[in-house]
Structure 1
Amino acid sequence: MHGARAERARSGKPDLRAVAQSGHQDLMSRVARGDEQAFAELYDLLADRIYGLVLRVMRDPAQSEEVTQEVFIDLWRTASRFHSERGSVTSWAMTIAHRRAVDRVRSAQSTVDREARMAAGQQDTPFDSVSDEVASRFEQRQVRNCLDTLTELQRESVGLAYYQGYTYGEVATLLDTPLGTVKTRLRDGLIRLRDCLGVSK
Structure 2
Amino acid sequence: MELPAYQTNLSSESSAILQRIGKTDKTAVKDCIDTYGNLVWALARKYTDSLEEAEAATQEIFLDIWRYAGRCDSTKFDEVTFIFLIARRRLIIRLQ
In the alignment, structure 1 residue 100 sits paired with structure 2 residue 90: yes
RMSD: 1.6
Partner of 1:85: 75
Partner of 1:178: none
**Any residues of structure 2 matched to 1:29-108 within 5 Å, and which?**
29-106=19-96
- Taking structure 1 as the reference length, what is the TM-score of the superposition? 0.41
Helix, strand or coil at the partner of 2:27 = helix
Deviation of 1:85 after TM superposition, in Å, equals: 1.3
Number of aligned residues: 87
Higher-Rg member (1/2): 1
Residues 22-76 of structure 1: CA deviation (Å, up to 9, x unaligned) = 5333221111011121111111111121011121112321111111111111111
- Taking structure 2 as the reference length, what is the TM-score of the superposition? 0.81
**Which protein has the bigger helix share?**
1
Identical-pair percentage: 25
Runs of 4+ in 1 over 3 A off after TM superposition: none
Structure 1 gaps, min length 5: 1-18, 107-201
Helix, strand or coil at the partner of 1:58 = coil
Amino acid at match of 2:79: V
2:23 and 2:53 map into 1 onto residues whose CA distance is 30
1:49 and 1:30 map into 2 onto residues whose CA distance is 20
Residues 79-134 of structure 1: CA deviation (Å, up to 9, x unaligned) = 1100111121111111111111111111xxxxxxxxxxxxxxxxxxxxxxxxxxxx
Helix, strand or coil at the partner of 1:102 = helix
Q: Which of structures 1 and 2 has the larger relative contact order (alpha carbons within 8 angstroms, sep 6+)?
A: 2
